[in-house]
Structure 1
């Protein structure tokens, strides 16, 4: 009778229901929390890459050495400083190790309503090439809005230039690949050159009196 009484009492005991419910829900809570953390990290990383692209384009549009009486000249060293600064700002993202920056100078072509990529400078180990603009020195492209080779419809002003930046970055997951929304982040930015610039001197408008290394787009390296 004591055993029956104890079993009857146990059957009416509800003190462990909360623990059982928590144990059943715990896997879903953990998975949801991990997914939310990964999504937050992805969003933050994407925002940082976007801001980096904007900063590079802005800095590239402002660089130059000269006076108010002469057109500014730009150098390989100044371009290298911009790229190095971007990598330092990216910090733990490992921008050069996990991604690639492509900086292009869009300038008016010789023919009416055309543009040309006068020069490009790249940095990063990721095997990524420009998908929006052709390589430097390519055939002039139409500035017509219907031109499929110019999906962002970014064209330079007359006698000016636009600094166009593309960044491709392999997202580094916070928890694991199972929870990451996408494996790659791509961001672009464009800025019109602020001052009158010397576009004819040097090599395609870039001087290199310091014999600084050229950030060639044929080189894929994190250094």
Structure 2
């Protein structure tokens, strides 16, 4: 009986060794994790790039909109920048950032870069901010480090050539910071703090002397 069992076991073993019916299933089970990982990595990178592009668009749009403040003012008085104007352009940026939880994970810094008539120095006349992310301007503030107080300000911009304001004009300079959160956390990519800049020269004549006029400003940088 032992010989019969051994013969049957040997026959079954040979048959199993010749059986190829489950090879494709086994191969698929082996390569599926690799294929899935590549697909998820591609999805994560595509999402990060789309968020990066959105942050860049917010910076450029806000700088552009701020540069147009007072452009439609038909009064004979040269317009100023008011707190209400700043509130409007900041609300526009918030709408553009919808879906990104920007209020918690982002920071917008809008600066008015101007040239001081008395000294010819570049300085930050005023600055307004939005978002709770703990970030400060890379170039200074509108008080103790504005270019007239503290270190001299050669201009603004991360490139080799700094952006400067000419006499009797101003540059609306925007810095946007955003703490990126991946679709799958940091499984495939790090979650960097994205940073983008945008700058536009003001479009029309603007009365720069009083700085920001009016009350009700909702976006202090303090």
Q: Same fold (TM over 0.5)?
A: yes
Following superposition, the deviation at residue 126 of structure 1 comes to: 0.6
* Runs of 4+ in structure 1 over 4 Å off: none
Following superposition, the deviation at residue 40 of structure 1 comes to: 0.9
1 CA distance for matches of 2:217 and 2:171?
A: 23
* Residue 189 of structure 2 corresponds to residue 180 of structure 1: yes
* Residue 46 of structure 2 corresponds to residue 40 of structure 1: yes
* Residue 133 of structure 2 corresponds to residue 126 of structure 1: yes
Following superposition, the deviation at residue 54 of structure 1 comes to: 0.5
Q: Which one of the candidate residues 182, 196, 199 is aligned to 1:190?
A: 199
* Residue 33 of structure 2 corresponds to residue 14 of structure 1: no
* Residue 77 of structure 2 corresponds to residue 70 of structure 1: yes
Following superposition, the deviation at residue 2 of structure 1 comes to: 4.1
- 2:106–2:177 CA contact under 8 A, matched in 1: yes
Q: Which one of the candidate residues 108, 111, 114 is aligned to 1:107?
A: 114
* Residue 102 of structure 2 corresponds to residue 98 of structure 1: no
2 CA distance for matches of 1:199 and 1:214?
A: 21
Sort the Cα spacing of 1:151 and 1:50 in 2 relative to 1 into closer, same or farther, 3 A. Answer: closer
Task: List runs of 5+ in structure 2 lacking aligned partners.
Answer: 1-6
1 CA distance for matches of 2:189 and 2:200?
A: 31
TM-score by length of 1: 0.85
The structure whose Rg is larger is: 2
Deviates more, 1:69-78 or 1:107-116: 107-116
Following superposition, the deviation at residue 180 of structure 1 comes to: 2.6
Q: Corresponding residue for 1:24?
A: 30
Deviates more, 1:53-62 or 1:173-182: 173-182
Determine helix, strand or coil for the equivalent of 1:190: strand
Deviates more, 1:41-50 or 1:8-17: 8-17
Following superposition, the deviation at residue 189 of structure 1 comes to: 0.5
Following superposition, the deviation at residue 15 of structure 1 comes to: 2.0
Task: Calculate the aligned-residue CA RMSD, in Å.
Answer: 2.0
Aligned residues: 208
Determine helix, strand or coil for the equivalent of 2:98: helix
TM-score by length of 2: 0.86
Task: List runs of 5+ in structure 1 lacking aligned partners.
Answer: 219-223
- CA deviation string 1:119-148 (max 9, x = no partner): 0000111110011x21114233354xxx7x
Following superposition, the deviation at residue 118 of structure 1 comes to: 0.4
Following superposition, the deviation at residue 102 of structure 1 comes to: 0.2
Q: Which one of the candidate residues 201, 209, 216 is aligned to 1:212?
A: 216
Determine helix, strand or coil for the equivalent of 1:101: strand
Sort the Cα spacing of 1:212 and 1:188 in 2 relative to 1 into closer, same or farther, 3 A. Answer: same
* Residue 64 of structure 2 corresponds to residue 58 of structure 1: yes
- 2:121–2:147 CA contact under 8 A, matched in 1: no
